[in-house]
Each structure stands twice: as structure tokens, then as C-alpha cells.
Structure 1
Amino acid sequence: MKIEWLKIYRSNYLFILPICLLAIVLFSFVPYNKMVQSNSEDQLSMARFEVDDFTEVVADMKRKDFPADFIATLTEQLQLKKQKLTAIEQNDTPAWLEAEYQTTKIDLELLQQGKISGLGFDYLNLKLAEFDFFRKNPEIEYIPELFFSKLPTSYYLTRLFSFTPIITLLLLLTVILAFYLTMEYRDKTNAFLATFPQKMTHTALKKITTTMLWVLASWSILAGILTLLTAPQYGIGSWKFPFFYLNYQKEVLSITTGEYVLRLGLSLVVLTFFLVTVIYLISALTKSTIATLALSLAFILPAMMPQVLEVIPVKLLAYLPFGYLDLPSLLFYKSEFGDFQPTWLQAIIYLVSFAGLCLFILVGKLQYDTRKTIFASNQKNNKLPYN
């Protein structure tokens, strides 16, 4: 492994990966940080607008002689909106949550009765469950999805990777790995390394392990810098903070920031193992940087075109890697591939199995290349004249 570390250290790739990853994430952090500065005022302005607008709506319905029970319900909602405005002005989160919960509950009842439209039933159920949880668990500070006024580390890590397309980061990683893993073929040192007195299984495992540790160290550096950016100002935050979401069956589920970050870490390990193994195999088969890059990107780019892949039958798509790569989104049961909706665990099992198969083929290919190189070398030596 020492040789592999030296190759990474002496190459130009050591710092390229963490710097590129950091640049992408900082590009998303800056607007988030700007939103934090203005969200409190925006939320207050929105609440005032809602009160003024709803006051006009209630007054108009009274003039048009709408049913008394409907007007009474809307008048109750108006009072709740005024309570929300007061709660925002006084920075009283429990009171705001109670008013939001009651307002959402009324909206859901009116929607079920067919008296209003335009609001999604599933969305209201989701928000009702969210508000109900936080009003019953005041020890966990509520952070609004739209008008967040702080970015604690645990919350930001979950929000960042759940809303940032992981495929963009995988594309960057693929390009860098394609150039690094074909370095021996560009430098013409692969034949020399093949004569080393060690099993190719060990050689492959050492190269994969070293490359994985390098990539995972880059992810860790990224997480550390994000912690330094957020923790001093906003704190680490609660690892029990839940994110509520709807699965494919429109059921309301939740995942805590702690569980999400742990699964995210495992997801990055699996994705790294998958990419390193697949690209290493392609490089061993093609022995060309351009061919390795092109074929490696063919494994990633289709995941960015879900509309195109919708034409592929679900049964066939289940055997292709494209639909399994966005592991952070699958933690929220969000797949962009129509009726193909794998779970996060299914994706983990598939990617590990696929990478394991690639590793098996890779070892066989490297052993064949080694025997071929040694045989050619012996043939050449046998033809040399003796002194």
C-alpha cells in the first residue's frame, strides 16, 4: 500500500479531489448562508401579507352571503394567522407551531369536505404530522424548511445532501478516478509492476483500498470544513431532529438527522467502492485513459436523464446501475425513475454485489495480464545470446 500512497502523493490528484468537492459545496453554502440572514424578515413579511389578504377574503365572503359555518371556520383561521404573526414577532416558536398545526388541521378538514381546492391532501398530512411532532417535543428546536434562521451542522449536512444532486459529485469523482487509475498505462509502468513478486489479488485489493481511503478522506475533509463553517455560529444541532417525507405510497415517514448522516456515510463508502472497482476494471480492460473515461461516464450520465430512462422497462432497469446511484435521495424514498422505486437497502445490496462481481473479474484479468507479461519476458530472455 505504501507504493500506492506514494503514487497518489506524487501525482497531481492528491488535492484536486478535496478542492473540487469543497468548491462545489461552498457554492451551495453561500446562498444558504445568505438566506439565513434574510429569512426572519421574509417570514414576518409573509405572515403580515397572509393576515391582510385573508382579512379581505373573509370580508368579501361575508358580503356575498357565504354559509355561516364556512365563514366561521375562515374567521377561526384568520385568528390563527394573527396568532402566527404575533408568535413570529415575539419569537415564540411553540405558539407558532400550535397555530400552524391548528391551521393545517382546518385546511385538511375543509379539503376533505370539498369546500376548498388547490391544496394537496398528501402535503397537508405531511405538514400536520411534522407540526404535531414538534409541538409535542419542544426539547427539539424546530427549524422551518423555507424560513430557516439558522444552520446547525447536523441539519445542514442532511439538507445539503438531500437537496444537492449526488450525481454531480459522482461525475467529478469519476473523471478524477479515470485519470488516476490509468496512470500506469500512460506512464508505461504496468508491465514492470506486473513482474513484482506478489499475488495480483493483493495488488488489486491494495490499490482499491488505498484509492478508497483517499476518496473517503476527501469526503471527511469536506465534512470537517462544513462543521467549521456552521458549528461555531449555529452549533452542532440535535441529531434527533426529524425530516418528514412521503414515500412512493404517499405514507408519511420521518428520518432523524443522526440516522441520515450515518446512512449517508455508509452510502458514500458504497458509492466509492462501486466507482473505484468499476473504473479499475474498465482501465484494466481498455488500458486507455480516454476509453476508461468514456465507459465510466456511461455508468453515471444516464442517472441524470430519468425522463429518457423511463422508456426502459422496469424489469430491465432493475438490472442496470443507473437507478441505484442516488443513495442520498433514496433515503427519502425519492426516485426519479417513474415506477422503478428501489429502497435504499436494495440499492446498497445491488451496488455492493455489482462491485464484488467487478472485483472478481478484475482479479482474473490482472492475473491473466501478469502471466502474459512474464511469459513474454521469458521468451525475450531465452532469445538473447549467451556470453
Structure 2
Amino acid sequence: MSSWVREQGLQVLATVGVSVAGLATVRPIGATGPGLVIAVLLPLCCLALAARHLPVIRPDLAFPWLATGILASIALIATSDQGTAYLFTYFLVGHAGVRLEARRAVPLAVAAGLSGAAAFAVAPVLPWPVGLTLGLPVLIGLARRSRQEATQAALAAAQAGERAARAEAQAAVLAERARIARDVHDVLAHSLAGINMQLELADALLDTGDLDRVRQANDKAHSLVRESLQQAQWTVHALREDALPLVDSLTAMIESSGHRDALTVHGDVGELPAQVVQNLLRIAQESLTNAARHAPGAPVRVELRRRAADVVLTINNGRVVAPVSASPGSGMGLIGMRERVALLGGVLEAGPITAADTADWIGGWRVTAVVPLEGSR
């Protein structure tokens, strides 16, 4: 900004200097004949030169204004017999290169040079060949125009880059919000739904006087609270990008859901990207919670398989063995699982089991997540 202000200041000083020099040296000035013509043309040239500091002039008026100013300055040269009238032409032609496109500025400059040579021939203030140089300042103006356009293009590119960076940052914020929403859903929605179901069961059993079943429901609610606390710890670790041991965490999760020796591991899964571990644990948690809600008492089998290019997590639960009462849920579980796998570039399949090694599994439900390892972050 300081360089721009300095340049504008120099331009104003140049305009004032040329105008003062013209008013002081251009002669004759009088009330009749050539003096009257000069008395009219000189202020007109000063006004035309001063107008170049008004950027609000519409582009369609720039050509008539500059053409009129140059014509007035040439006429001033031809009318006067001394002075610096030619300075008006130099500065106006140079400014034509700044304000006008080259296809309009160059012909105007050529016309000014030829007219200037003729004017010096009529009024020999300077040798007529000098008049041809009156069109040369257009080159300086065009160079300045090109520099301004390059600067504006650079500023526009910088602004576009800044907007793109803001959009990228906003997208990152939205992605992080979606991630936190999934984690909150996994921890709160399932846990609170299960606790609420057990408490409602205990409340209903109080009227029957079956205290043993009331205690069982109460104990189950306490167990869900403890599990929720553990899941909350997992969520905090995930949000902090801490790496969790996949097999140990998966084993603890499965056992806390009431199933033992249900995990089978194939291959070495010790070194996996943190994002893969976190999302696989969330998918397992969602699947186990759905199994407990929709098929309580059914067997559960979890398989974790490390292959060359990906890792596969499969959660199976057997068919429903007892009537299931409706329990509250958000309905976002399967959507959240698909989102998690999609963010990692993998695929998730979920559906009923139609073929299995034993009849107990047919009619159950299977969730399979395939997550590629290359490029995982």
C-alpha cells in the first residue's frame, strides 16, 4: 500500500508540475487572436491531464476524453510560439497506454506523433522530428498497464487460493463434526438406550413382585453403565488420535457384551494405522450392540483377518431365539458404519446369513467391513 501511495503522489506532483510549467511558459495569452485560443486551450489541457487521477471515469468515456485532451495539446503546440505545451501531449499519450487497450491506444499515439510533427513544423518550438516522439510514451503506458494487470491477476489468484483454503478448512471442520457425531452416537445412543430398557424392565417388574428379576435388570443396567464408561474412554482416545491395541480392545469389548472366546484372528494385525483401528472398533461396537438389541441370547462370532492389501472384520450373530421387544434407537447405526468404512476407502456389507456351517447361524445377521491398508491415514 505504501508503494502505491508513493506512486500516486509522484503522479499528482507530475501533473501539477506540467500544469504550472504550461501556465508559466506557454505564450502568447490574450483576449484576441492566438492569445485567446491559447487562453481556452491551456486550461482545457490542464483539466484533461488532471482527469487522469479520477479512476471513476467510465471506460467508455476514456477514449473521447484522452482523444480530446491530446487534440487540444497538439492545437496548443501549433498555436503557441514558446513554452512546454508538448509536455501535455507526452503525459496524455502515456496515460492512454494505461487506460486504453493497445488496439485503441496505439493508433491514438501514432496520430499524436504525426500531428505533433506537423505542429512543430508550423510552430517551430522544437524541431519537427521531435514531434514524432510524442507518440512514444504510449509504450511506457502499455508496460504499466501490463504490470497492473499482472498484479491484479496475482491478487485474484491469491484471493482464490485463500477462498479455497477457507473452503478446505470448512470441509475439514464439517468432516470432524461428522466424526464426533458418529462417536457420540456410538457411545451415548446405544448405551443410554440399553440402560433405559433395563430400567423400564425393572420398573415393570416391581409391580409383579419378582425381586430376583428386578435385581437382574438392575445389575444389567449397572453393567451397561460400566461398559459405557469404558466406551467413553475409547471415544476420548479416538478423538485424541491415540492408537489402541486392536485385538486386546476387541477382546475386551466382546467379553463385556457377554460373549467369551468369540474372536478369531487370522494373520498379523499388530501394526495397523490408527484410523483403521479406531473405525474397526467402532464398527464392532455398533454390530455387537445391534446384536444384543435385536437378537438377545443368540451366539456371536467375530473374525479379524489381515490380508496383504486389506483387513477384514466380520461380525456374525445367530438367529433370534426369543421374542424381542422394541427398543429405542437412533436408526443411524448402519449409516454410521458405512460412512466410517467409506472414509477409509473400503466397503461394508450387512445382511442376513443365508448359508453357514451350522443351522444356528442361518437367519442371523452378518456385518463385513473390508478396509484397504495402503493409503490409510
Pairwise TM-score range, normalised by the shorter structure: under 0.3
Q: Which has the larger radius of gyration?
A: 2
Higher relative contact order (CA 8 A, sep 6+): 1
TM-score (norm 2): 0.25
Where is the strand percentage greater, Structure 1 or Structure 2? 2
